[in-house]
Amino acid sequence: MIKPAGKIGVFDSGLGGLAVLREITKRMPEYGYLYLGDNLRAPYGDKSQEEIFKHTLAGVEWLFANGAEIVILACNTASANALRRIQREILPLEYPDKRVLGIIIPTVESMENFSRSGHIGVLATEATVASGVFEVEMEKHNPDIRTICQSGGMLVNLIERGKDQKILAAEIKSVVGGLLDRDGLIDTVILGCTHYALIAGQIERALPKNVKVVGQGGIVAAKLSDYMDRHSEIRVRLENRFLIDFYTTSGNEDIKKLMAQFYGEDSRVSTVEYDVS
């Protein structure tokens, strides 16, 4: 166990949250960070809601135990299937001074700034699509926008395993084609799984030139910065020293190399174990 000292925790089922972490640290380089990827149990997109909740809660509690004062679920599947329950059932009783935030509502709140046609596509995991959370939250925050959600198929598996680029390109073409077939007026595509930010360029090339691709990293970073400005009770408990510690639940050395590669630096990644019950 590392020494607890007020940090910002970032949790994801695997690699995708690194894209969010990168944008957050650019925006707020004055803090220390813990990144935890649950690569051992990834992907979450094909798991039941109860499994997703248990895995997410275990990761959040590990981050709390190791110094995180606030945790960002940089995973749409976890945000859609576990966030509300953690906020309502777990935090008030067990961690009243801690905070856990998701990334779906910040994304939805920003969508009116991107789409001209009012037709937005969302690429996400099966579990996120099944939850209907993007449609529900968009109706609340931007009721004039029509939202079409499309499963990303095998994209997360292909990214996590570093599969052949030809196979990946074929899957991207299939997923994008399925989305556009459902609504030809889509002019904006949200990467509703943080893993997809790692292949944003390839997705963009598979789309018509008039369709823009929106990742969540910059949006989440801006919203978190604003949140910290408004919540001094959290901010004052954070250590004012930039440092990032990277952790994964997988002992696979290839996964560790991919984590360092996707973050953009030659970073040391440690393996941790914790109980998921």
Do 42 and 11 touch, CB atoms closer than 8 A?
no
Neighbouring C-alpha atoms within 13 Å toward the C-beta of 121: 25
Q: Which residues pair with 214 in a beta bridge?
A: 190
Identify whether 75 is a catalytic site residue.
yes
Q: Are strands 146-151 and 269-271 parallel, antiparallel or unpaired?
A: unpaired
Catalytic residue among 193, 198, 214, 220: 193
Rounded to the nearest 10°, the torsion over CA 11, 68, 141, 179 is -10
C-alpha dist (Å) from residue 5 to 34, 88, 90, 232: 10, 25, 22, 17
Burial class (CB in 10 A: 0-12, 13-18, 19+), 166: exposed
Identify whether 193 is a catalytic site residue.
yes
- What is d(CA 257, CA 265) in angstroms, rounded to the nearest whole number? 10
Catalytic residue among 19, 57, 63, 75: 75
Catalytic residue set: 75, 193
